[in-house]
Amino acid sequence: MGNRVAVVGVGMSNFGELWEKNLREITLEAGMMAIFDSQVSGSDIDALVVGNQSAGRFTGQEHLGALAADVGGLGNLPAYSVEAACASGGAAVRQAYMSIKSGEHDTMLVFGCEKMSDVNQSEAMNTISVAADWEWEGMFGATFPALYAFMARRHMLDYGTTEEQLSKVTVKNHANAAHNPFAQFQRPVPLKVVMRSGMLADPIRVLHSSPITDGAAALVMCSEETAKKYTDTPIFIEASTQASDTLALHDRESITEMKAAKISSRQALDRAKVEIKDIDVFELHDSFTISEIMLTEDIGIVEKGQGGPALDEGLTEIGGKFPVNTSGGLKARGHPIGATGVAQIVELTLQLRGECNGRQVDGAQRGMAVNTGGTGATSIVHILGRD
């Protein structure tokens, strides 16, 4: 288990409502970009893995591992697909990490993809809801906006978090996405517009929520020895960890804490032998803006209850001490469910290479991605660093 694992290539389709493209086309686009970026030959790839939540419900297509190998012309190599709700992309990255680290595979192509706009909004919401506890939550009409509204309202009650602070996450992430050419929403949004947007489930407004998005992201990952053949500046995955929590909110000790993220982030820091202050840039799962606030607390950027004030102080802005969601996050970059966890690694890789024009964190040497599934029932954390 001594092999170090590197990211040597990254690629993404545009994120948005991609009416003119189907699932296989956006997946192929992201994969080809990652291969071209890495300069790895397709014949050098010895396995691939796809992260996806619900292609069968959104598009009618399952068996995505074989599909990706087929459309990519990659022949008879092993091809896997994994599902972990909104953390499916992170699960794909972790699957590749473990496969390479074990020595089973050497060079892998990793995809995350979702095509969500081919069904109507009601069907999309029903499909997304199966990532919660369907028997105890979804069956009774508890959508994700409603579940996160419970979490937000309790956080506001316990810690004094305000609707304005929920809205400042949106403002920050839209400002970052304005410099991301792949983002769904490449424009800033004023605070007053966010706070006047329609109410989904009090206190969650439309502009506190990530959108319905189509998109794909891809990585080429390989062993350290192989990475040296392709680049002088590989980005290494220093830690990959995962933890779980109860699927339903009502079974948790606290609905203002994402315990799985708390556990997996501590494990990742321990394995990478670093502290939270050593991380220069973060990609945190902001499916709803309260999620980003809670995660900044649960991974240790700030103390519990201080996620809101951290926004008032600019702590998580580019130029702040702990820049969060430089890509625009799920809120503004977009949230094609299976692609999100891979897109987080794409952003961190570009940041550590110094290739994020307009949104670059100066001198970034190490980054952390936190990809959560459901209302935090799954948490997958990766720490990346320059050599």
- By annotation, the residues acting in catalysis are 86, 335
Helices (H), 114-178: 121-129, 144-159, 163-177
Angle between helices 23-38 and 64-71 (to 10 degrees): 60
Residue 285's Cα: distance from chain center in Å? 6
- 177 and 171 in contact (C-beta within 8 Å)? no
The 8 Å CB, 24+ separation contacts for 175-181 are 176/318, 176/325, 176/326, 176/327, 176/328, 176/329, 176/332, 176/359, 177/327, 177/328, 177/329, 177/332, 177/333, 178/328, 178/358, 179/356, 179/357, 179/358, 179/359, 180/327, 180/328, 180/332, 180/333, 180/359
DSSP label of 211: P
Q: How many angstroms separate the CA atoms of 277 and 201, rounded?
A: 35
- φ/ψ of residue 44, rounded to 5: -85, -15
Residue entry with tokens 């809205």: 167
